[in-house]
Each structure stands twice: as structure tokens, then as C-alpha cells.
Structure 1
Amino acid sequence: MTGSTPAAGIVVLLAFAPGCAGGDEPPAQGIAELGTGEWQFEPLADGQEVELAHGAQGGWHLWTSVRTLGLEPEGVLLEVTTTVIDDPASATTSRGRIKLTEREDGRCEFIGWPAVLGEPACAIGQPLRIRAVVTDARGAVASGERLVRPRWDSDEACARRPQGAQDVD
């Protein structure tokens, strides 16, 4: 994959609510839409293939972006967990503080979060659950998940997969 091609990501949950911050009272739960994008937001559907990106430190990840409704844009904690469905031990979580950018349509977004995979060769072609939890400084939470299938053009072997085993098409 080249740096000029947006990498794949994930869609989690989408609904409609008034505005980015919602109103005077903190909402019990906000709304999150997780999609692809290193440079721009692109939604994905359950079951869609997503391309893995090679990280600067040698790891592999899926570029993800998030849009929210009902959350304040400052002091936001983003937590993204990737898990191969048939291998719960594969769960890998990355988290960090982000600042959401307000959009003209009332939603907020963050572009370009690297959702890490612990052993990417074992995820190729397998159903992968991406779960995102977004919490603002007031404690309002938005979360959701999507099932995707990672794609990667590499001959690297999965250490846990027996020699000669095939990826699922």
C-alpha cells in the first residue's frame, strides 16, 4: 500500500442527534460512527474487506476515523480494540486522548487513528471485530463495532496457524 491511497477502517454505529455537543445536559450516551481514513472519513459496511497499513515502527494497523454526535470535542478518550472472532486471545487495544474537529453538519470527527493488530498475519481473511469507545471530558460515551475482513498482500506466516493452512476466502 502506498501513502497516497487511503487505508481501510471501520463503521460502527450511526444515528441522528442534534449537534456535536447535544445540549446543556450531558447525554447518557452519544453516537459514534467509525470508518476508514488516514486523510478523510470513508464509511464501511459489515463484512467489507479492509487493507492493513504498515506502521512506522514495524507493526500493522487499520486506519480508522471516527465521527460523533452528542460528545464535546475537547478532552476525548478514544479506545479501539481489534479481535479476530475465532481467537479472543488476539484482542489488541490502542487508546489515546484526541481532539474532535467540529463539522458544518453538527457532527465532530477525528481522522487517522491506527487500530493496531497484534499478529496481523493471523487476521488475514478472518472476521475481525473492531470496537470503538469514545468518552468525552463530561463522561458521555459513544461506542459501537463492525465486523470486517483484513486484506494484506504479504507472504508472512501466522505463528499460530499450522504450516500449510489456508486463509479463508
Structure 2
Amino acid sequence: MACSTFAAGLAVLLALAPGCAGGDEPPAQGVAELGTGEWQFEPLADGQEVELAHGAQGGWHVWTSLRTLGVEPEGVQLEVTTTVIDDPSSATTSRGRIVLTELEDGRCEFIGWPAVLREPACAIGLPLRIRGVVTDARGAVATAERLVRPRWDSDEACAGRP
């Protein structure tokens, strides 16, 4: 599979590398890029403003998307955590099984995961850490995070604001 080419090379390097005294091989490490986008991948830069989206069940979230390299596309567990910086109690984590789509350049991507905010009104304009962790069926892990600033562009969003 195209997504596993990098992983195969990495596995060979790990096998040839000197091991630790413990004997257990660490899982292969992949590479991930965290972006945004509900319909297509849009790169994110640290400090960038992102619009909150109103969810179907009444909550608020930021659309997140991921690109990976070195992760098998099937049997993937995704974990996304949002945390307002300086407020660890604001952390919200969601998890689910996903299937990555293979791209022509050897990377894989997943589009449109709703990164939920527990109290969105308390996050407006503040630095928000979004962290994505992808683990494939072999145990290869890829992690990415960005610091963004949520914004509300809707009067509806402010209706419940304290």
C-alpha cells in the first residue's frame, strides 16, 4: 500500500538500530499534519483563527482533518483532544475508528473530524490546543497538534454565551 512505503523503510531502520536493554521494540512512528476542513484538507498554522461550527446535537466544534505518512490506512484509531491553554479542566477528548484515504504522493488523509469544545464561550479568542493521535492496527503512531484561536461568526453561537 502506498501509505506503508515510509513505514516499511522506517521498520527496517528500527530493526537495524541498537536496541535498549529492555528488549521490547517500540512501535513504528509515523508522521502527521493537523489541518482543518469539513470537505477538504486545509493546512493550519499556529495562532490561526478557526471558526466554530454548530453541531447537529447542539454542541460546538472545530472541523479538523489529518494527513499522515507511515500509517496503514485501515484499522486506524483517531483520538482528538482540545484544551484551552492555561485551563486543563477544559480538555475534551473524542475517539473513533476511521479509514484513511490514500493520496497519490504516498500520504493518507482523513477529512472532517469534529473536535468538540466543552465550553466554547470560554474559548473564544484564547489559545486552543488541538492534538490528534492516529494509531494503526500495527501500533504505528502519528501525532500532530496546533495552537489555534476559536472565533464565532454567528449570532446563534453567542446566544448561550455567559
Q: Place the TM-score, normalised by the shorter chain, in its bin.
A: 0.7 to 0.9
The amino acid of 2:73's aligned partner reads P
> Which residue of structure 1 aligns with residue 16 of structure 2?
none
> Which residue of structure 2 aligns with residue 53 of structure 1?
53
> Which residue of structure 1 aligns with residue 69 of structure 2?
69
The 3-state SS of whatever aligns with 1:23 is helix
List runs of 5+ in structure 1 lacking aligned partners: 1-18, 159-169
**What do you get for the CA RMSD once the two structures are aligned?**
1.4
Which structure has the bigger radius of gyration? 2
Using the aligned pairs only, state the percent identity.
82
The amino acid of 1:49's aligned partner reads E
> Which residue of structure 1 aligns with residue 18 of structure 2?
none
- Residue 34 (structure 2) pairs with residue 34 (structure 1): yes
Partners in 1 of 2:121 and 2:152 — Cα distance?
8
The amino acid of 2:161's aligned partner reads A
When normalised by structure 2's length, the TM-score is 0.82
How many Å apart are 1:133 and its aligned residue?
A: 0.6
How many Å apart are 1:39 and its aligned residue?
A: 0.4
> Which residue of structure 2 aligns with residue 20 of structure 1?
3
Partners in 2 of 1:56 and 1:112 — Cα distance?
14
> Which residue of structure 1 aligns with residue 131 of structure 2?
131
> Which residue of structure 2 aligns with residue 157 of structure 1?
161
The 3-state SS of whatever aligns with 1:121 is helix
How many Å apart are 1:157 and its aligned residue?
A: 2.1
How many Å apart are 1:86 and its aligned residue?
A: 1.8
Partners in 2 of 1:86 and 1:100 — Cα distance?
33
- Residue 106 (structure 2) pairs with residue 106 (structure 1): yes
When normalised by structure 1's length, the TM-score is 0.79
- Bigger proportion of residues as helix: 2
How many Å apart are 1:53 and its aligned residue?
A: 0.3
